[in-house]
Structure 1
Amino acid sequence: MNISSKGLHSRNKHQQAYDFTALCAAVPALTAFVRDNGYGLLSIDFANPDAVKTLNQALLKQQYSIEHWQLPDGFLCPAVPGRVDYLHYLADLLAVLNKNKIPTGAKVQLLDTGCGANLIYPLLAQAEYGWKVTASELDPQAVNAAQQLIEQNQLQQKITLKQQHNSDHIFQGIIQPNDLFDLTLCNPPFHTSAEQALAGSERKAKNLGHHNTTLNFAGRCHELWCDGGEAAFIRRMIDESQSYAQQVLWFSSLVSKQENVPALQQQLKKLGAQQQLIAMQQGNKQSRILAWSFMPEKQQLLWAQFRWQKK
């Protein structure tokens, strides 16, 4: 089943232009970065990492009541509208099994594989839907930064952080025998090499009229690239997910490159998995979510009844 979208999800709070007056009121430090964009509208320099980080702080505080957010230098700085879009579409997957009502609260368990130092998906998931989140991460420095965010925002009861100690594994070592997850999500490494990642940063900088690729295109090596790029990473994720077929309702991953989709869909078909491809768009940027489940529909409905519909 394919689901298409021409823009942000209908529940996305960022349908309109940013309200910089409200955002600056929430985080006054943002004022220093706001300027006229030449068309009579307020904006920031999106190639300036400090400006983007401060914008994120303001968005998270003003729209999601997340009081504390910061990011160490060198780590990937996420765009909030696109990240929360992913969560809204995952919520729709659950609603289909729940009489078109999105299940909310800690009864829904989400696994974010590779949460990064920014912890963006867990923060947004608990803010928007009250879901309980387990976040895994390989990089020890990112783990420390993410744990600090959990503690600063007093979210220890809503977000659990686990360090992945083996770079060859995605779910193994994280999903324990008694764990049950309604959803998994992942924003996999996009590029196939450090050189390709640098070239991508140079293209972004050129599109924004800059030539300094150290501006807003940071990211640790495992955030940006891996051998074989996103296609190889997701193939490995699909293979590993078979071992947890009865512990996870819906697995999912972003797929940035359309050309990677057919082979991944064929892999899932061979494994007998149900799958959905959900198209997403933010401005000129297009992406997609590939979601899969090893449970037949009848089992999915029983899962929903047991997990979310308790009286």
Structure 2
Amino acid sequence: MVSQALHCRNPHRGRYDFNALVKNNSQLKPYVIRGKHGELTIDFANADAVLALNKALLNDAYQVVHWQIPSGYLCPPIPGRADYIHHIADLLTTHVPNTVMGHRSVPTGSDIRMLDIGTGANCIYPIIASQSYGWKVVGTEVDAHAFDNAKKIVSENSNLSPLINIVRQKDPNLIFEGIIRKHDKYHVSVCNPPFHRTAEEAIDAANQKWLGVGQPQGAQHKAKRTPLNFGGQATELWCQGGELSFLKRMATESRRYANDVCWFTSLVSKNDTVRPLKKRLKELDAETVEVIQMSHGNKITRVIVWSFVPPEQRKNWAI
């Protein structure tokens, strides 16, 4: 079951309707089973089942017909990823001067430009943002295989290709430099940063997550001890210094692009990251720093957002 705490515009609220999903996505059918209380579900510890579910969700909610990821790359939980985008859409209502019945409308259409740092092989944030709101998205990627796969997803889906452009970041030590060009204007940047400090720490966390889901039974499932849903390449899962080090580097570099991106944002996995990151952003003279909390069941996820643009100037940003 997906947490009811998901954003009100998230199409994945409530239980998955497996009957409807299977009707339009036959490849999911072999993986649908009965849960403890007779409800339809899948074995979330089975990588193939999770991949089939993701394909069905992307087809059902975002009209993505062709979607595949290479073995060993992150197979993301779609509902949580969608929540990030919907909260960012709320953030961008500050750009809309008109109100309807006292409420600001969410900005839609290709005039809104989003930059996704570290798109990954799955291309998930560009897909959700472009298909939910019609935004134009530039996705960046360091890893060559992930870059190629994301570009393939875009090129094979006619509804994605007019709105999404995947570009290669050739220097793994840089985030915005080499990507943001002269005269580029973005309303927002998003990022799901690597949060572990070492490969060993990442493997440890994956094993704990595996145990948390519940070990599948039988030798056939046991052979899938490194499933896609707990997969991930080095650039996706860890970097030297971990999440805080990466985000401090992002914050420092963002100062140089203060006039090119209105809102910089990132997921923050660890609560201990928030205070020192806010301190660093204050040192960099950020105009606004806020933390958005997202609750998915028992898990609390944070999004930190910051801007160097004065509030009164945001309404007319790149419109």
Corresponding residue for residue 295 of structure 2: 281
Whether the 8 Å CA contact 2:263–2:307 is kept in 1: the answer is yes
* Residue 301 of structure 2 corresponds to residue 297 of structure 1: no
CA contact (8 A) 1:192 1:230 kept: yes
Counterpart secondary structure, 2:230: coil
CA distance in 2, matches of 1:25, 1:301: 44
Between the aligned partners of 1:271 and 1:174, the Cα distance in structure 2 is 21
Q: Which amino acid aligns with 1:93?
A: L
1:201 is matched with 206
1:115 paired residue among 119, 141, 150: 119
- What is the CA-CA distance between 1:217 and the residue it aligns to? 1.0
Find out whether 1:135 has 2:149 as its counterpart.
no
1:162 to 158, 167, 181: 167
Which of 203, 211, 214 is the aligned partner of 2:226? 214
Aligned to 1:252: 265
| Alpha-carbon distance change, 34 to 122 in structure 1, aligned in 2, over 3 angstroms | same
Alignment match, 1:228: 241
CA distance in 1, matches of 2:179, 2:197: 25
Helix, strand or coil for the counterpart of 1:70?
A: coil
Structure 1: gaps (5+ residues) = none
Letter of the aligned partner of 2:205 in structure 1? G
CA RMSD of aligned residues (A): 1.4
In 2, the alpha carbon distance for the partners of 1:109 and 1:156 equals: 15
Checking the alignment, whether the CA contact within 8 Å between 1:201 and 1:213 is kept in structure 2 is: no
Specify the alignment match of 2:219 in structure 1. none
User: Is it true that 1:146 corresponds to 2:150 in the alignment?
Assistant: yes
* 1:103-160: CA deviation from partner (whole Å, max 9, x where unpaired): 1110000000100000000011111000000000000101110111001102322101
Q: Which amino acid aligns with 1:188?
A: P
Specify the SS of the correspondent of 1:123: helix
Quote the Cα distance in structure 1 between the aligned partners of 2:296 and 2:311: 31
Query: 2:181 aligns to what?
Result: 176
Correspondence for 2:26? 28
SS of residue paired to 1:8: coil
User: Which SS does the other structure have where 2:65 is aligned?
Assistant: coil
Give CA deviations for 1:21-41 in whole Å, capped at 9, x if unaligned: 011012101010000111111
Residue-by-residue CA offset, 1:164-186 (whole Å, 9 max, x unaligned): 00010000011111110001000
Instruction: Tell me how far apart the structure 1 counterparts of residues 114 and 164 of structure 2 sit (CA, whole Å).
Output: 10
Give the Cα separation in 2 of the matches to 1:165 and 1:8. 36
Report the count of equivalent residues.
301
Q: 2:195 aligns with which of 190, 193, 197?
A: 190
State the TM-score, normalized to the length of structure 1.
0.94
Pair 225,213 (structure 1): closer, same or farther in 2 beyond 3 Å: farther
> Does residue 268 in structure 1 map to residue 281 in structure 2?
yes
Q: Is the 8 A contact 1:6 1:281 kept in 2?
A: no
Task: Output the CA distance in 2 between the equivalents of 1:47 and 1:190.
Answer: 22
Whether the 8 Å CA contact 2:169–2:179 is kept in 1: the answer is yes
1:96 aligned partner: 94
Deviation, structure 1 residue 6 = 8.3
Retained in 1: the 8 A contact 2:95–2:107? no
Q: Which amino acid aligns with 1:290?
A: I
Aligned letter for 1:279? Q
Q: Runs of 5+ in structure 2 lacking a partner?
A: 99-103, 216-221
Q: State the alpha-carbon separation in 1 of the partners of residues 52 and 278 from structure 2.
A: 39
Q: Could you tell me how far apart the structure 1 residues matched to 2:277 and 2:47 are?
A: 34
Of 57-66 and 250-259, deviating more is 57-66
Which residue identity is paired with 1:81?
Answer: P
The separation in 1 between residues aligned to 2:29 and 2:198, in whole angstroms, is: 37
Which moved further from structure 2: 64-73 or 256-265?
64-73
C-alpha separation in 1, matches of 2:43 and 2:195: 24
SS of 2:315's equivalent in the other structure is helix
Matched-pair contact (CA < 8 Å) for 1:6–1:280: no
1:174 aligned counterpart, secondary structure: coil
Q: Report the residue type matching 1:200 in the other structure.
A: A
